[in-house]
């Protein structure tokens, strides 16, 4: 299954100028045409980037990049406010119009009064979308300490279905492993994945934050129960390039598991927008202060390739993930960020460029901290 990572992509074409020109033409002639035509001229709506080939993920066909929705409900790290919802819906619509059909979320994205907010918003956006039949939702179910039985995990899945008001989830994922601190709970949650699959609540199952050893264990366990493991979601970026990361990718390829790369921009450190003297507010600022000073070799290489390619630094960083055969799921809180993410598609870094980026990553002393829930 190693070959599943190699997909062809059609060239990227931007049609914004065409649409703007058509809009201007429509507005300039509106006064003369309105009296003779019952409907005003509508410009042909074209995608920002030409549609590209889907890739296989278990039984599903998904876009080679998805959109992550952690920020669609998280106040502490991402400063979410309900006033953002209108723009978030525009982001969703823009993504779908440009061929994105994979959206990643979790039942823990939004706590307290905003419990399940990300899932609720996605459900609302899907109901109002004209492409709802093609959309794949990958949601993660938290391994909360009170979820101790398979039945409780199935109940969590049904709660997510209720929040989104959809009939079936695309990929139901175990958000993290409890093997390091509650191995008995881990087995119950694995059985919960089997039960939600057998009951037809999800089309496929996946895991998140699983290292190489535990990934092989759950793959074999599920296989014995007749349930294929569709995906493994891990922190994967030039900022977290390491032996364990590459070993996980190798195992995924050998077992036919699709690797979903979360934090492909290192929480924003690989955007080129920040420096030791220009930090984001909140907890991210504290993290960036520790890591950014050691990223000069990597950021410099990203900048050089971006300039030669006439791309942006984030687009190059995301494209590297795609070139490695993963499906990155960058987040977006603004339309500008969403448009920038889309610019990572429709082209491919050369092997030489990928090597230069990886050399820059290894020459950098800054490293992304590992997720506390990540297992070996």
Residues designated catalytic:
109
| Exposure b/e, 68-82, CB count within 10 A at least 16 = b | bbbbbbbbeebebee
> Is the separation of the CB atoms in 195 and 154 below 8 Å?
yes
Q: Taking Cα atoms as reference points, which of 282, 252, 257, 254 lies closest to residue 268?
A: 282
CA dihedral 6, 7, 13, 19 (to 10 degrees): -140
What stretch of H or E contains 106?
strand 102-106
147, two tokens: 């979820």
360, two tokens: 């820059």
- C-alpha distances in Å from residue 96, one per residue of 109, 202, 239: 21, 21, 28
Q: Where in 168-211 does DSSP place strands (E)?
A: 169-174, 202-208
Neighbours of 20 (CB within 10 A): 11
């Amino acid at each position: 299954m190693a070959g599943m990572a190699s997909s062809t992509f059609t060239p990227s074409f931007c049609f914004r100028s065409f649409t703007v020109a058509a809009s201007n033409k429509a507005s300039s002639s509106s006064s003369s045409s309105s009296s003779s035509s019952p409907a005003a001229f509508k410009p042909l709506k074209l995608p920002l980037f030409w549609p590209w080939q889907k890739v296989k993920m278990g039984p599903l066909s998904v876009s080679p990049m998805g959109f992550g929705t952690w920020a669609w409900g998280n106040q502490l790290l991402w400063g979410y406010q309900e006033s953002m919802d209108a723009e978030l819906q525009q982001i969703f619509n823009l993504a779908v119009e440009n061929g994105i059909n994979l959206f990643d979320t979790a039942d823990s994205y939004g706590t307290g009064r905003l419990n399940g907010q990300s899932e609720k918003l996605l459900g609302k956006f899907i109901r109002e979308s004209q492409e709802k039949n093609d959309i794949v939702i990958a949601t993660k179910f938290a391994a909360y300490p009170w979820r101790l039985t398979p039945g409780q995990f199935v109940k969590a899945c049904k709660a997510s279905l209720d929040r989104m008001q959809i009939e079936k989830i695309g990929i139901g994922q175990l958000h993290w492993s409890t093997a390091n601190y509650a191995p008995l709970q881990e087995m119950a949650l694995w059985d919960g994945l089997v039960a939600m699959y057998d009951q037809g609540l999800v089309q496929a199952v996946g895991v998140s934050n699983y290292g190489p050893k535990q990934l092989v264990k759950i793959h074999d366990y599920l296989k014995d129960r007749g349930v294929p493991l569709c995906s493994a979601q891990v922190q994967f970026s030039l900022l977290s390039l390491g032996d364990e990361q590459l070993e996980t990718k190798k195992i995924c390829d050998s077992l036919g598991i699709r690797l979903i790369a979360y934090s492909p921009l290192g929480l924003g450190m690989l955007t080129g927008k920040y420096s030791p003297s220009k930090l984001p507010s909140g907890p991210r600022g504290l993290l960036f202060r520790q890591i950014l000073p050691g990223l000069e070799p990597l950021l410099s290489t990203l900048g050089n390739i971006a300039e030669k390619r006439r791309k942006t630094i984030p687009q190059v960083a995301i494209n590297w993930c795609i070139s490695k055969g993963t499906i990155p799921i960058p987040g977006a809180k603004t339309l500008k960020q969403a448009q920038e993410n889309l610019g990572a598609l429709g082209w491919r870094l050369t092997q030489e460029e990928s090597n230069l980026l990886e050399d820059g990553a290894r020459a950098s002393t800054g490293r992304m901290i590992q997720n506390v829930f990540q297992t070996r």
